[in-house]
Amino acid sequence: MKILVATEKPFAPVAIRQIREVIEAAGFSIELLENYRKQEELAGAVSDADALIVRSDMVTSAVLDAAKQLKIVVRAGAGYDNLDLKACSEHNVIAMNTPGQNSNAVAELVFELVLFQIRGGFTGKTGTELRGKTIGLHAFGNVGKYVADIAKGFGMDIYAYDPFVSERVMKNNNAKQCMNVEELYRKCQYVSIHMPLNERTVKSVGYDLLRQMPPNACLINTARKEVIDEEGLLKAFEERSDISYLADVAPDCKAIFAEKYKGRYIFTEKKMGAQTEESNINAGVAAARQIVDYFKTGNQKYRLNK
C-alpha cells in the first residue's frame, strides 16, 4: 500500500518523521513529493498511490484521472476548497479533511498580525492596545473559538456571528452572539474572518459591511482571499483612511494596496496560518492515522464526499 504525501508547501521535517512512523508502523510505504511546481508532477507521482495526503494542493479531475489505484485522499487541514469532491466521488475516491488540527496556529497568526500592525511594525512609533477593544468573529468554528480564547487573555470584548452555532456555545467560549452579520461589523473595531470558502461565502465581505465598522476598523482575514469582495474592499479603503486589512494571503488587488495604502495592510507572502511545526504534526499525523484507520477498519468519520 503506497501513501503519497504531495505538498507544494512542505510539512516541517519533524512532522514528516512522525507521519512516516505512523505509515510504516501500519506496514504501508510512504513517498514524498515536495515543492513541486506543476500539476503534471502530482499527476505523475499519484499514478500508483493507494492514498494521498495533501495540504492546499489542488486535487482536480485530471489528477484523479491519473490516480488509477487511489482509494482515499486526505486534506491535512480544515479548508477543502482545493478538493474537487464531485470528481472524487466519480472516481470512487473517499475525500477527508482533518478539522481542528491546525486551528490554534491560525488563531495565533491573527494576533501576530494584529500586534505587529497596532504597534506600528515595531518601529518605535506610538501604537494602540487591545484591552477593552471589540473583536468580532465572523464564523465560530474551531479557529474562531481559539481566537476568542486568546482575545479573552487580551481583555477584549468578544462578539461572534455564525448561523450554524448556538448562543450557548458562543457564551461558553466567552463570545456574545450577534443576530446578523451587519451587527457584528457595526459593533466591532476588529473583525476576524473564519468561515470556509464555498458558494455562499465567496465575495461575502465587501463595502456594505466594511463601511459600517467603527473608527480605526481592522479586518483580519486568515480564511481564504476569495471570501472578500475586493472591489468593495477598495471602495471602503478609498472612502475611509482609518481602515486596515491584514490578510494571510494577499488579495488579487495587492498592487493597488502597495501603491495607495502603505501602512494600512499586511499581506503574507505565502499562506502561513498553518505553517507551524505543531500544526504540521497535528494535521499531518491525523491525516496519516485516518488513512491507516480507513484501510484497517473502514472508518470514514471525516469523509466529506457522498
| Residues at the site binding ligand 3PG, with contacts judged by CB under 6 A | 9, 55-56, 77-79, 102, 271, 273-275
CB 97 within 8 A of CB 75: yes
Residue 282 CB, shortest distance to ligand 3PG, in Å, is 10
The residue among 188, 198, 244 whose CA lies nearest residue 221 is 244
Residue 60 CB, shortest distance to ligand 3PG, in Å, is 16
* CB closer to ligand 3PG, 107 vs 213: 107
Q: Which three cell numbers stand for residue 180?
A: 446578523
Q: Is 10 left (phi over 0), alpha (psi -120 to 50) or beta?
A: beta
Residue 75 CB, shortest distance to ligand 3PG, in Å, is 7
* CB closer to ligand 3PG, 72 vs 213: 72
Residue 35 CB, shortest distance to ligand 3PG, in Å, is 13
CA-CA distance, 183 to 185, in Å (whole number)?
6
Residue 96 CB, shortest distance to ligand 3PG, in Å, is 13
CA-CA distance, 25 to 159, in Å (whole number)?
45
* CB closer to ligand 3PG, 55 vs 138: 55
Report the residue closest to ligand 3PG, judged by CB: 77
* CB closer to ligand 3PG, 100 vs 214: 100
Residue 11 CB, shortest distance to ligand 3PG, in Å, is 9
| Angle, CA 119 vertex, CA 279 and CA 128 arms, to 5° | 115
* CB closer to ligand 3PG, 102 vs 201: 102
Bridge partners, residue 53, by sequence: 5, 74
CB 198 within 8 A of CB 220: no
* CB closer to ligand 3PG, 74 vs 266: 74
CA-CA distance, 158 to 244, in Å (whole number)?
19
Q: Which three cell numbers stand for residue 122?
A: 515595531
